[in-house]
Chain A
Amino acid sequence: MAFGASGGMRYTARDLANRALRRNTSQQEIQLMVLTPDFDSRPVISFQHVWKTYPTGTEALRDINLVVPEGDFLFLVGPSGAGKSTLVRLLIREEKPTKGKIFVEGIELGRMKRRKLPYYRRKIGLVFQDFKLLPNLTVYENVAFALRVLGEPDRLVQSRAAEALDTVGLAGKEQTYPSNLSGGEQQRVAIARALVHAPRMIIADEPTGNLDPATAWEIMQLFLRINSRGATVVMATHNREIVDLLRRRVIAIDAGQIARDDRSGRYHDDVSKPQIRAQ
């Protein structure tokens, strides 16, 4: 399905609703759909013929075209080494595209000045498989850290961090160190840190990769809640159950190319094709 690449087709709320209703979708899923905000808005992310070749010669991405509207919730799926992580790294400007252009909120990432990069990163919230918490800081300090970096005043740091910890259900654990928390709790801290500065976009790379199914589902609920408040969520994942249950937009990447872009897709487009199964 090729939409957005040439700029012709766009998601619309009605379009999505029709789709959801045509299929025999569960009440819960429709509920989640309705929470997704305005699909008529301008795209927050757009990839235009993006290629990424690493210095080693590995062609990680080939001619990627992608448009993500504001408020979208999108899964990046595909086997390991397919290029999901490269796509995420391009989005957070840890890498620059070899060819093509990437726009996020109107800024072209490839041409962004190095000194502007911190200010770009402040607009996004990042969540990783390995949490990336600072072990020598308490839960509170880890979350507050994202605000300290912005030079926010103490009072604001305190109230925002407390609010974020409350959102992820960790109120009362402020003074605990990450090493004393379970994997799920650590990921909650990471999510609290990612949303404490109210970013308009959350990028998550395998956020449930290290978690058991029940915990993974709890973490997903948090992402859905963040999305329902208007933030765009881009999530690379291997978690088939979650993708299949949520029926959100799914972009399957295989061998550096977009193999599939379904507006309310499943992990595999066809269960009879086990070769796309995650490794």
Chain B
Amino acid sequence: MTVLAATMTMFRNLRFALNSAWQSFWRNLAVSLAAVLSITLILVLAGVNLLVGHALSQVLDGFREKVSVISINVADGTPLPSVYDFQQRLSTDRRVASVRFITKEQALANFTADPNNAVLAQQLDGNPLDAKLEVKVKALADVAAIDTVARQWSGVDPSNPTNYQGDFVNRMLQLSQWLGLAGVGLLAILVVVSVVIVMNTIRTAVYHRRKEIEVMKLVGATEWFVRGPFVIEGVMTGLIAASIALALLVIAYPPAVAQFRSDIAFIPLSYDPTFISSLARDLLLGGALLGALGSYIGVRRYVRL
């Protein structure tokens, strides 16, 4: 067989599979809808999981942003070249994102500018505040190391070297790790449960059509020829379910965020429209894979020659 002929045969087989998948979806509408429904429910759960995970990581990112900045207090009387020198050293460090020098005057100005400090500021005599080096560290895990470097510097204020709170940062790190792990675990459970449900739904659909499969095998259909339409139907089912799940989530997402913010104001949850596109991609891909895998496994018992 020439390459062209083989390609043509493959193309015809694909067209046949697409046609029969489409026909059988509508012919067995009740079973198809059952499959769509179960995949939709699973994808809604998965989508909620992804959205909650995303929201939490947004909140965590906010916290991280805050704690990844460490202020190094400069002792009074430290010569300016020494400060600049240290600033230079820090900014060449690979772990550091940026370093900002805040003079005593700027520190005082910042302090008095904050309305919360108004009363205190009036009672200030002179300028008790230290000049500061505000270091933004790239990774949260490196803050401790930068803190150690700072404490070893000769120009640091010995009575109050930095604002680093090791415990808090470590806990934050642990929490975010646990949350990430819990999300992954939940998603894994959902995947297993959904594959089982989809597999059984599709096995029911296949059971109704076992006679058709038997005839296909008797007239000499290859295993993939028999399987093709079912797998394509599974992908179709998955994509329809994903679209429904996505629509439900997109509609429910903004009001849910608004409700959350009015109830628990101190957690800075926000609506993130850019996440929708990545959610859409994940759900459609997940739905298609789920449908295909469920069909593949569901049909296997009947297809084997």
In the bound complex, residues from chain B placing their C-beta under 8 Å from that of A152 are 12
Q: A-facing mask of B157-173, CB < 8 A → 1, else 0?
A: 00000000000000000
- 8 Å CB contact of A150 from B8, B214, B220, B223: B220
Q: Does residue A236 face the partner (Cβ distance < 8 Å to B)?
A: no
B300 interface residue, CB < 8 Å from A? no
Contacts of B9 in A (CB 8 A): 151
State which of A20-28, A44-52, A118-126 sits at the interface with chain B: A118-126
Q: How many Å lie between the Cα of A117 and that of B305 in the bound state?
A: 8
Q: Are B13 and A121 in contact (CB under 8 A)?
A: no
Interface 1/0s, chain B 205-224, versus A by CB < 8 A?
Answer: 00000011011111111110
Bound-state Cα–Cα, A270 to B250, Å:
82
Q: Which residues of B contact A154 (CB under 8 A)?
A: 12
Q: How many residues of B contact A (CB 8 A)?
A: 21
Q: Once the chains bind, are B305 and A114 in contact (CB under 8 Å)?
A: yes
Complex: A136 Cα to B13 Cα, angstroms: 20
Instruction: Check if B261 is an interface residue, CB within 8 A of chain A.
Output: no
B77 to chain A, nearest CB (A): 86
B66 at the interface (CB under 8 A from A): no
A sample of 15 inter-chain contacts (CB < 8 A) reads A118-B221, A118-B223, A121-B220, A122-B219, A126-B218, A126-B219, A132-B214, A136-B27, A145-B216, A145-B219, A146-B220, A149-B216, A151-B10, A151-B16, A152-B12
Contact with B along A117-158 (1 / 0, CB 8 A): 111111000100000111010000000011011111110000
| B22 CB within 8 Å of chain A | no
Q: What is the CB-to-nearest-CB distance from B5 to chain A, in angstroms, rounded to a whole number?
A: 9
Q: Which residues of A contact B216 (CB under 8 A)?
A: 145, 149
Q: Which of B8, B27, B225, B305 contacts A149 (CB 8 A)?
A: B225
In the complex, which of the residues A92, A149, A152, A197 has the most CB atoms of chain B within 10 Å of its own CB atom?
A: A149
List of B residues within 8 angstroms of A117 by Cβ: 305
Kindly state the separation between the CA atoms of A46 and B217 in the bound complex, as whole angstroms: 24
Q: Are B211 and A132 in contact (CB under 8 A)?
A: yes
